[in-house]
Amino acid sequence: MKLIVNNIRWIMLVSGVLTFTAIIGLFSPELILNSMFGESFAGELSDVIVRSWSALVALVGAMLIYAANRPIYRSFVLTVAGLGKIIFVSLLVLAGGQILQGALVAVAMDSLTVLLFALYLLSSEGVIKLFNNNK
């Protein structure tokens, strides 16, 4: 656990940069869908939803990058990002089939990230900062 606590800045930076790459979907929804899921959707509504989802995911990535260098925000941002990733992974696992097959890399990476975030948050440093952000 000490290894994670000592390297949380780098864990957040790498995770943040990888998460921020979802910004591609804001400009090219078909590209992000094909690269992540091996499928695409057609229609104006799906285009808007994918662009919006991409922007929101990219914002979480930006938050991870920002908080990596600002310890006071780390626990909050790790909690938000971790919960978002848990929901994403859970929905993909529940969907199963070809959707899950197309997103196995994202599921594996996000699952690992959630584990690292949780271990940090369960450390004394993470718990203290989550519930006592007066510093």
- pTM (2 decimals)? 0.87
Angle at 101 between CA 63 and CA 104, to 5 degrees: 35
Rounded percentage of the chain residues whose pLDDT exceeds 70: 91
Predicted confidence at residue 40, as pLDDT, reads 76
Domain tally, the chain = 1
Q: Give the integer Cα–Cα distance in Å for 21 and 30.
A: 14
Domain with 123, as residue range(s), is: 2-131
How do residues 118-130 score in pLDDT, each as one tens digit?
Answer: 999 998 665 666 5
**pLDDT tens digits for 33-64?**
888 877 777 788 988 999 999 999 999 999 99
Task: Return mean pLDDT, the chain.
Answer: 90
Q: What is the pLDDT of residue 32?
A: 87
